[in-house]
Structure 1
């Protein structure tokens, strides 16, 4: 087994010519036969006892070729990629170009590689830091949040429903006079104006009184998750069972004592202001970092393969699934609730993914330019930190994260610190 040639066919794209000798191929065919024969029955032989030559005569000499190639695939292709010295950004596409017992196997592996990156002027980046002042409106929002926690609910029976009310409804949806799946519920609590339902649904409940039964007409969004309903008009039969409203109490010292660690409204307001100022300072720091990163991206050049952006989008979707899982929500259900498709989700992530890929490439290049190194002590400390964070042993963490990958992450972190330390903050 050997790598015969590495051909650069276009920017960031290589074709590896790989050969498997006839001897190695024969050994793999024999392994494939031994593995498969237990399931093969031939006249005159007990199941699993038929000779290989007889099976090949009956089904053709190629009968075990595919299984034999599959047995060799991983070590052969991985070995060839390692021998080529290429840094791939996705799995290679492999095709068999020639195959025979006499001459062995020839493979062609098409590889997409990490691009060459140039980055300049990453030291001394000038950015402005803007810390927003805390306003009375900001403070009042926090005070209102405390009032919200102490809100009481009153039944409304002397007026029609308004935005901001909570209503309890029974509903059933019909398309072309036929009830559709998932369109029915009883005793459903809905906050009017929340946007929980598709456009037009909540607006048409406003103005009705408790006890009324009525129809509302809506049109599902064109990109609605359920294809049968996307863009379709529908009628919902509604029974408005009750209306309630939230009554906000006045903020006073008693409420503050009961709900916080403070004794008076003035003490609580002072603490709210302090925390808001700290949050604004932290936000300003984040904005500064974002501006620095934007400048780094602006000052980098590279012909980046589209697959790197696509891979990052897919990773972000996987991360979304992981965040949804503890809530018992699948990605499909999330898209149904939000009226999205997988394509709209990918589109929403595309810009952010592009920036992240470009920034990572630029930072890796800066780490090389600055000869940033990672010591074994730093690597160990980072593994220990991850183990503590995930409540796992270090050995368990190492099953998922390779030393070299973590070293790259640490080096990139050092590159970030270098750039930020060298930046000029106005």
Structure 2
């Protein structure tokens, strides 16, 4: 495509205006494509729908009616070419100003672009990190053993006269009222709720403690001020509760038989020894991760970079989508989570903001270090990574490569991951523990 960059000028620290020209041939081709798109829905006397000749169409409606569609078609190809030629990296959608555009003439476009910020690196080699104790204590082994005991507990219906305790699962009917009126979504029959899970409005679950099977109770709570249903936000509510059943975990005895039932070991002592070994392996991994994260954090802290808000907003969307997917994998609809926690999407985004900013800042600093150190991904490293993925997916290496290239031409994401890993290794190897 004939695209000529006229000028790139910064107007703010991370914002600039890119002026570029697109040739006459490309403009006319975009108008041709726009006509083919629009004419499909055009009917005129004497012509079948979609068969109106171009000259007659333009004579009646004017060629200008094609301009917006033609511009969209033209810019979808011309804009990426222009930013490549100008060697700028956009981080958000541009604001487009069409200076000149018309049939049989070149187009002149000005795009206001938010670009990836420059990073001023500080000290990143020889960083000192305070040591942290990750040794395994005896009580950790016992705690892990108790967790195993709980995870293999049998769920039983509690005996008559048993009162609800924290950790129990109750089966209940409930109906909610605000100002004496029932509200939508505030009613359910035979609903199962684990006490202490925090799934309901604050104060709800605690008031079920002490209730017995067959009993009824009115529970009074306040909807949070930031509740997503505006008519309920901050309102006092009363829930009529009828308790049907109490389900409780019955713990198995910790003995050799327990060890045999849940593991390949014959004695409880052997099981404990295995738990201790695994905790030590985890502690070693935790120590490594702590040191690595601390080194990266200090390198990022020592750098200076002004991050465009668009990059943070985009990262917030990534975090929110990841959160929704995790909920889905747990079988929890996002709408149900919103309803029972009393939050909303806007509040969640606010909670993700600090994490998003940290992730963006860290990525930019690591990328700047990679570039400064001239680190690259070798062919051997790429092949090794492909083989690792293929082994994990139980697929042929060529098949894995084809799948990845279809999603990511040039394997740019894979190359970036390898280079980032090498950058982190460089930082950690030069760091000191004190």
TM-score (norm 2): 0.89
**Where in structure 1 are there 5+ consecutive unaligned residues?**
none
Q: Contact 2:31–2:103 at 8 Å: present in 1 too?
A: no
Distance 2:231 2:406 in 1: 44
Distance 2:276 2:385 in 1: 36
How many residue pairs get aligned? The number is 426
Distance 1:250 1:377 in 2: 53
Question: Match of 2:78?
Answer: 76
Which among 418, 425, 433 is matched to residue 417 of structure 1?
425
Does residue 186 (structure 1) correspond to residue 189 (structure 2)? The answer is: yes
Distance 1:102 1:145 in 2: 76
- Cα displacement string for residues 327-361 of structure 1 (whole angstroms, at most 9, x for unaligned residues): 44444444334332222222222222222222222
> Secondary structure at 2:283's aligned position in 1?
helix
Question: Match of 2:32?
Answer: 30
Question: Match of 1:312?
Answer: 315
- Cα displacement string for residues 247-304 of structure 1 (whole angstroms, at most 9, x for unaligned residues): 4343122222222222222222222222222222221221111111111011111222
- The correspondence of residues 213-252 of structure 1 with structure 2, limited to 5 A, is 213-252=216-255
CA gap of 1:124–1:60, structure 2 versus 1, over 3 A, is: same
> Secondary structure at 2:211's aligned position in 1?
coil
> Secondary structure at 2:376's aligned position in 1?
coil
CA gap of 1:102–1:146, structure 2 versus 1, over 3 A, is: closer
**Where in structure 2 are there 5+ consecutive unaligned residues?**
none
Distance 1:162 1:93 in 2: 59
> Secondary structure at 1:374's aligned position in 2?
coil
Question: Match of 1:158?
Answer: 161
- The correspondence of residues 109-124 of structure 1 with structure 2, limited to 5 A, is 109-124=111-126
Distance 1:394 1:25 in 2: 38
CA gap of 1:39–1:424, structure 2 versus 1, over 3 A, is: same
Deviates more, 1:88-97 or 1:380-389: 380-389
Distance 2:245 2:416 in 1: 59
> Secondary structure at 1:180's aligned position in 2?
strand
Distance 2:49 2:194 in 1: 68
Which among 36, 40, 43 is matched to residue 41 of structure 1?
43
- Cα displacement string for residues 344-380 of structure 1 (whole angstroms, at most 9, x for unaligned residues): 2222222222222222222222222222222223223
Q: Contact 1:139–1:269 at 8 Å: present in 2 too?
A: yes
Once superposed, which parts of structure 1, at least 4 consecutive aligned residues long, lie more than 6 Å away? none
Q: CA deviation at 1:82?
A: 1.1
Q: CA deviation at 1:244?
A: 4.3
Distance 1:194 1:405 in 2: 38
Distance 2:166 2:322 in 1: 35
Question: Match of 2:201?
Answer: 198
Distance 1:60 1:256 in 2: 84
Distance 1:266 1:345 in 2: 46
Distance 2:413 2:308 in 1: 20
CA gap of 1:24–1:262, structure 2 versus 1, over 3 A, is: closer
Q: Contact 1:156–1:245 at 8 Å: present in 2 too?
A: no
- The correspondence of residues 95-106 of structure 1 with structure 2, limited to 5 A, is 95-101=97-103, 103-106=105-108
Q: CA deviation at 1:23?
A: 4.7
Distance 1:24 1:276 in 2: 65
Distance 1:72 1:264 in 2: 74
